[in-house]
Structure 1
Amino acid sequence: MTLLTFRFAPSPNGELHLGHAYSALLNQKLAEAHGGRLLLRIEDIDTTRCTPQFEAGVLADMKWLGFGWEQPVRRQSEHFVEYQAVLDRLIREELVYPAFMSRGDIRAFIADSEKRGRDWPRDPDGVPFYPPSDKALPAKERKRRIAENEPFAWRLNIDAAVARAGRDLAWTEFTDESLSATRSVEARPQDWGDVIVARRDIPTSYHLAVIVDDALQGVSHVVRGQDLFSATGVQRLLQELLGLPQPAYFHHRLILGPDGRKLSKSLGDTGLARLREAGASPDDIRRMVGL
């Protein structure tokens, strides 16, 4: 019988808050309930914002909460070679293309389009779709601009990718915290347009790294916040394109601040370190998040 495997995967780009505590403790609760494995992954591909100091804070918070994980910890920044190999495959199969437009270029293109009376599509986060012009660039022009060190990002050609997948995509979503009932959710990766899958200097993005890591670590159940629900469609598409296994998902409720908004790492009053310094105990944190 295969052990169920859960993971908590924070980014060390700020201090953890009550929302992170809930996610970590829920993963721990489910792993214990099902006799499964519990992993800690450090998602630090953003090498400018992620720091050793923040990572040390993450580890200290997790130990204080009583979150016990299997060793070793997987740090994404140590696995760029693996992500590069996957990216190279997508490049060879012409499923991604170099996108050269800056944010200013994109804004200008969209403004001009909207002046002409065309509503520009946006993704579920409200970000405008990337304009289509770079997809039409000849290969020779792409190579020239890359050779001249022009800034670019690798974007998924969503139309080509969906066509390559060749069938309707869905994922299995658990509907409650006990993992006792599931439903099938239609994946709609096209709602995100041509998403970034890698940068010129960093051979991956969140979408790409997370599916590679989940596959390599044998993660069977992805338990994470509701704010990532829609993005799962893009990840299911990438799993299909790369022949990677599909975990089951549970997108849990978010812990909200006093203003009713999702917690942010900039909100110090809900930071775990701040609460600990104020005398809170791990049991207090469990009560605060409803566990």
Structure 2
Amino acid sequence: MGGTVSAPYRGRFAPSPTGPLHFGSLLAAVGSFADARANAGVWLVRIEDLDRNRTVAGADAHILSTLETFGLWWDKQVVYQSQRNSHYEAALERLRRDGLSYPCACTRREIAAHGIQGPEGPIYTGHCRNGLPQGRVARSERLRIDGDQLSLTDAVQGPITQQLMTEVGDIVLRRADGFYAYQLAVVVDDGDQAITQVVRGADLLISTPRQLYLQRCLGLPQPGYAHLPLVLGDDGRKLSKSLAAAPVDPSDPLPALDRAWRFLGQTPLAAQPHSVSEFWQQAIPRWDRARIPRGPLRIDAEAATRLGQAPSQQPSGP
């Protein structure tokens, strides 16, 4: 069984290459990077391009270039999920050997018709747990979830509890289109990269208990978690889905860095930095995880657009 990680700090930022870096993603990168550097830790970048249907050609290079421009320098080689299928298959094979996975023939329409509605959609009720129905073929592969209640204390959001069996159901490990599921891939990747601290957006908080469960099933250690507040557009939607999701401007990074720093509730810098390196020289010693708000935070479309268009002055506070 896995246990809580107590090794030297290793953090990561794991963007999906579905487009340019917007302010919400920058906020997650800044928080993850600052937390790692303030703890004298290693900071890694992983490109989560497992779903090639959503991957935009060239987006990974654009994201990496933007990170460099913002002074977010990573340690070690960038890892691409699309190159790690053998690792995911090995983990899936272990789950099979341990009797923890099973083939599933159900379609989304069938699950919606027979399932109970949960926070993320219909909850799978285990229709294929005891074998495929006669005449049906497997479409996906699922993890058997037992009745355990999963709990953790998030460093930002506080105590979190989820009853996986009744709130989530048996989760997909390999999808009907043949791709390995995000939940499996991220757990395997964090384990292989020896990640000790996951700092990411609060939209992924709901996924964390099932990742803890998978870590337990695979005998992997459990990282610490800190989920940063979401940035919402003025329409109330997650920034990546909002009209305010303008890409950040790599040609003038300081305004967006300053805005991200203040959105994260951090102590203002003592002096106006004149370069990205000056910003981080002042910022890292001031980083205080306890000051991060739970959120969510809002940014209007005009402010987000200014951050993406090399503004002549720094934007106002949140």
TM-score bucket (shorter structure): 0.7 to 0.9
Secondary structure of 1:154's partner? strand
Q: Distance in 1 between matches of 2:51 and 2:247?
A: 21
Between stretches 185-194 and 76-85, larger displacement belongs to 185-194
Deviation of residue 265 (structure 1)? Answer: 5.5
Which residue of structure 2 aligns with residue 24 of structure 1? 29
8 Å contact kept, 2:103–2:132: no
User: 1:212-248 deviations in whole A, cap 9, x for unaligned?
Assistant: 1111111110011111112111001111111100000
Partner of residue 283, structure 1:
254
1:14 aligns with 2:19: yes
Q: Which residue of 2 aligns with 1:219?
A: 195
Q: Secondary structure at the match of 1:137?
A: coil
Whichever residue aligns with residue 194 of structure 2, its letter is G
Say which SS state the counterpart of residue 45 (structure 2) adopts: strand
Contact 1:87 1:204 in 2 (8 A): no
Identical positions, percent: 36
Are 2:55 and 1:74 aligned?
A: no
Identify the residue that residue 186 of structure 2 maps to in structure 1.
Answer: 210
Structure 1 pair 138–155 and aligned structure 2 pair: CA distance change class (3 A): closer
Alpha-carbon distance in structure 2 between the residues aligned to 1:86 and 1:203: 14
Match of 1:155 among 136, 142, 145: 142
Q: Distance in 2 between matches of 1:258 and 1:236?
A: 33
Aligned to 1:174: 155
Shift of 1:31: 1.3
Write out aligned runs for 1:104-115 (5 A): 104-107=109-112, 109-110=113-114
| 1:88 corresponds to | 93
- Give 1:207 shift: 0.7
The answer for the alignment partner of 1:130 in structure 2 is 124
What is the distance in 2 between the residues matched to 1:33 and 1:39?
A: 15
Aligned-residue offset at 1:40: 0.3
Q: CA deviation at 1:2?
A: 4.0
Secondary structure in structure 2 of the residue aligned to 1:45: coil
Structure with bigger helix share is: 1
**Structure 1 contact 80–202 (Cα < 8 Å) conserved:** no
In structure 2, list runs of 5 or more residues that go unmatched: 1-5, 265-318
1:62 maps to which residue? 67
- Structure 1: gaps spanning 5 or more residues: 111-119, 147-151, 177-182
Secondary structure of the corresponding residue to residue 224 of structure 1: strand
Task: Return the letter of the residue paired with 1:242.
Answer: L
TM-score, scaled relative to structure 2? 0.73
Contact 2:12 2:45 in 1 (8 A): yes
> Helix, strand or coil for the counterpart of 2:119?
coil
| CA shift for structure 1 position 101 | 2.1
CA distance in 1, matches of 2:204, 2:38: 24
Structure 2 residue aligned with 1:48, among 49, 53, 73?
53
Asked whether the 8 Å contact 1:225–1:253 carries over to 2, the reply is yes
Would the aligned equivalents of 1:171 and 1:186 in 2 still touch at CA under 8 Å?
yes
Q: TM-score scaled to structure 1, two decimals?
A: 0.79
Once the two structures are superposed, what CA deviation does each residue of 1:122-171 show, in whole Å capped at 9, x if it has no partner?
A: 2322x0112432223359x58x835xxxxx11122223xx4xxxx65433
Secondary structure class of the residue paired with 2:237: coil
1-side partners of 2:13 and 2:35: how far apart?
12
Structure 1 residue 266: Cα displacement: 6.6
Q: Distance in 2 between matches of 1:138 and 1:32?
A: 50
Corresponding letter in the other structure for 1:101: C
